[in-house]
Amino acid sequence: MMHRHLLQRIGVAATVALWGLSLPALAAPSVFAGTGTGSIPDGSVSCSAPGVPLVISFNVNGMGAPLTDVRVTMTFIPQHQFAGDVAAVLKAPGGSPSATLFGRIGAVTGSPNGSGRHLSGTYTFVDPSISSANIWAAEAAVASPSGVIPSGTYATTVSGVVAASPASTTPLLSVFTSLTGAQINGTWTLELTDRCASDIGGISAASLTLDSFPPPPTQFTLAPSALDFGTLRVGDAAFRAFSVVGPAANGLDIEIPAGACSIVGPDAGSFAKLFNAVTIPPGQSALLSVVFRSLTAGVKTAALSCTGLLPSGVTPATITVPLTGTAGTPPPPPNCFDVDGDGVMNPLVDGLFITRLQLGMSLSAATNGITFGAPRNTPAKVAAFMLSTCGYPLTQ
């Protein structure tokens, strides 16, 4: 049988051919190395204008359309000592369209110069549908004013002075999805500029990753699909959890961003989630906990609702878990001396059966000659109660 991914490639290639594009029959996702790396020229002493851009080029060929992924990776070696000076823009062949990857990190109203923390290491910038990580938030989490912003994969963000940190994320992929194959294949450029003089740095390596094939499926399952907290005394708390399971066949991590989940419904105030941002790699699961506590008596209902899951297209697109709890007087514990549950502790029924068990008799021997009442009116029902509720070890 022909491999499914190969069939996908043939299908895309055939579609491209119908569009009149001259492309290889089996074009594949590709990584294109950048040329022209080096130092980023300094800006002006007064910071009134950025310096001449460092232009890194990527010779793209063999790609189909439309693009389904665009990623840019760059390595800051030597490190740049003032992240607030730097901006990066990706441009398609011919210079348009273009998308800002990041710029002026930490520049907010009242502090327009931005962050003095360092860019050092390798950073990858992707569409926000792929990762919700924000480089502004990563910068703000660095304790030292002259520390290093951690390497990693970040969503693209706006450039320039913003009202408050972190800056908002911006689309990357959708900027380029309208390009035809002929427009995609050519010289892409990454332009990096430095706004102010004195602090310098450079790029030692860069790459552009383009994909024109549908991303692999990403899905998950929930277990259990609803949470019942039972009956508690008013003011007491109980905890329950459900798991989100990502199959090993997933192509990407499942992300539940911070703030994506909330409790909704008539009694939402009686429940609270005990988790924040969650990431589930392929083949793994996460246990998500919820607490129930009510200060008033009665049955309480609500639902845990999570939207905005990543990546886009994950199945299902939302998480909805019904929640039920009762605040009042809990039922009394089961009476393990009334083995058949008829409300009478009969010495010739309940007492004899328990005594025989304590003497080590088997179930069949312990029930011999005893007639049990309803609701547990058979030896099997009595045995199940004693084993599951009362903890008696039973043998046949």
Structure tokens, 24: 């290889």
CB atoms near residue 358 (< 10 Å):
10
67 and 175 co-located in one domain? yes
| Interval 70-119: pLDDT, tens | 999 999 999 999 999 999 999 999 999 999 999 999 999 989 999 999 99
Assigned domain for 387 exists? yes
Structure tokens, 256: 């539940």
134 and 230 co-located in one domain? no
**Total structural domains within the chain:** 3
CB atoms near residue 264 (< 10 Å):
12
Assigned domain for 16 exists? no
Round to whole Å and give the CA distance between 349 and 319: 51
Q: What pLDDT, on the 0 to 100 scale, is given for residue 214?
A: 56
The CATH number of whichever domain residue 62 belongs to comes to 2.60.120.260
Assigned domain for 12 exists? no
**Lowest-confidence pick of 63-67, 149-153, 276-280:** 63-67
Q: What pLDDT, on the 0 to 100 scale, is given for residue 215?
A: 56
Query: 312 vs 356, which has greater pLDDT?
Result: 356
Round to whole Å and give the CA distance between 278 and 286: 8
Q: What pLDDT, on the 0 to 100 scale, is given for residue 216?
A: 65
What is the domain range of residue 249? 221-327
Element (H, E) at 227: strand 227-232
List Cβ<8 Å contacts ≥24 apart for 277-282: 277/132, 278/244, 279/253, 279/254, 279/255, 280/220, 280/244, 280/245, 280/246, 280/253, 280/254, 280/255, 280/256, 281/246, 281/253, 282/246, 282/247, 282/248, 282/249, 282/250, 282/251, 282/252, 282/253
Percent of residues, the chain, with pLDDT higher than 70: 91
Judge contact between 135 and 154, C-beta under 8 A: yes
pTM exceeding 0.85: no
pLDDT band for position 149 (cuts 50, 70, 90): very high
**Lowest-confidence pick of 8-17, 142-151, 260-269:** 8-17
User: What is the average per-residue pLDDT within 202-210?
Assistant: 98
Q: Is the pLDDT of residue 21 over 80?
A: no
Single out the residue in 148, 176, 211 at which a domain terminates: 211
Single out the residue in 176, 211, 246 at which a domain terminates: 211
Beta carbons within 8 Å of 312's beta carbon, 6+ residues apart: 129
Question: Checking DSSP bridges between strand 221-223 and strand 69-80, what pairing results, if any?
Answer: unpaired
Three-state DSSP string of 197-220: CCCCCEECEEEEEEECCCCCCCEC
Class of residue 79 by CB neighbours under 10 A (exposed 0-12, middle 13-18, buried 19+): middle
The CATH number of whichever domain residue 260 belongs to comes to 2.60.40.10
**Lowest-confidence pick of 68-72, 179-183, 296-300:** 179-183
